[in-house]
């Protein structure tokens, strides 16, 4: 692989991991962003994934996005969705990253999609589930729309950053992973030094 191919592969991995991270916040928002970018020719899609940039896929992702966003603003339905969204986020993260990772041999591509894409989507999704549970516990669910809005902003912003500034997005995803580990530890175990 020459230098240009290496840079191209790095950029496609950065886009893939960025879209996968966005899938951890919302499943369909990053898929819709990727579909629009593929449809308009802004995002090169990997072989076998050209369908992501087709008009039928764009319409399907747009419809699913509207339904998903709306459902997260319905009290208590947001928790029911999390039971389905957690495994779906893993699949969406794998799909989103595999659809855009180009210039890599199949073993590396699928390794990056499965471990990197699925892993980062699962970590972000798991952290958001914990935040929603904490919000429900502390506010009786009254603050859950704020959590839903923050997740929507996170999904949209991360997906757009992945398309337009992929290397910056990769750095942001690394930061998100660090924050997710720290936040998960705090949510599960509390801060060190806090009274019991």
What are the extents of the domains in the chain?
3-184
Q: What confidence tens digit (pLDDT) does each residue in 142-189 have?
A: 888 898 999 999 999 999 999 999 999 999 999 988 888 887 777 677
Residue 64 has pLDDT above 90, yes or no: yes
Query: Quick one: three-class SS letters along the chain?
Result: CCHHHHHHHHHHHHHHHHHHHHHHHCCHHHHHHHHHHHHCCCCCCCCCCHHHHCHHHHHHHHHHHHHHHHHCCCCCHHHHHHHHHHHHHHHHHHHHHHHHCCCCCHHHHHHHHHHHHHHHHHHHHHHHHHHHHHHHHHHCCCCHHHHHHHHHHHHHHHHHHHHHCHHHHHHHHHHHHHHHHHHHHHHHHCCCCCCC
The pLDDT tens digits for 102-142 are 888 999 999 999 999 999 999 999 888 888 888 888 888 78
Once rounded to an integer, what is the mean pLDDT over residues 6-13?
Answer: 89
Does 193 score more than 60 pLDDT? no
Question: In this model, does residue 194 exceed pLDDT 60?
Answer: no
């Amino acid at each position: 692989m020459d230098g240009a191919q290496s840079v191209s592969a790095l950029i496609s991995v950065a886009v893939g991991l960025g879209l996968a991270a966005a899938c951890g916040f919302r499943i369909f928002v990053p898929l819709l962003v990727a579909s629009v970018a593929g449809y308009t020719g802004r995002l090169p899609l990997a072989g076998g994934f050209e369908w992501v940039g087709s008009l039928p896929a764009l319409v399907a992702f747009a419809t699913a996005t509207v339904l998903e966003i709306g459902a997260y603003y319905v009290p208590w339905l947001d928790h029911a969705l999390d039971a389905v969204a957690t495994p779906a986020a893993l699949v969406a993260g794998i799909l989103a990253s595999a659809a855009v990772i180009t210039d890599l041999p199949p073993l590396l591509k699928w390794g990056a999609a499965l471990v990197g894409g699925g892993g980062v989507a699962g970590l972000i999704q798991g952290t958001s589930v914990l935040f929603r549970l904490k919000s429900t516990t502390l506010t009786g669910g009254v603050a859950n729309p704020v959590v839903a809005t923050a997740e929507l902003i996170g999904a949209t912003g991360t997906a757009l950053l992945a398309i337009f500034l992929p290397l910056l997005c990769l750095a942001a995803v690394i930061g998100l992973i660090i924050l997710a580990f720290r936040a998960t530890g705090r949510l599960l175990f509390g801060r060190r030094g806090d009274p019991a």
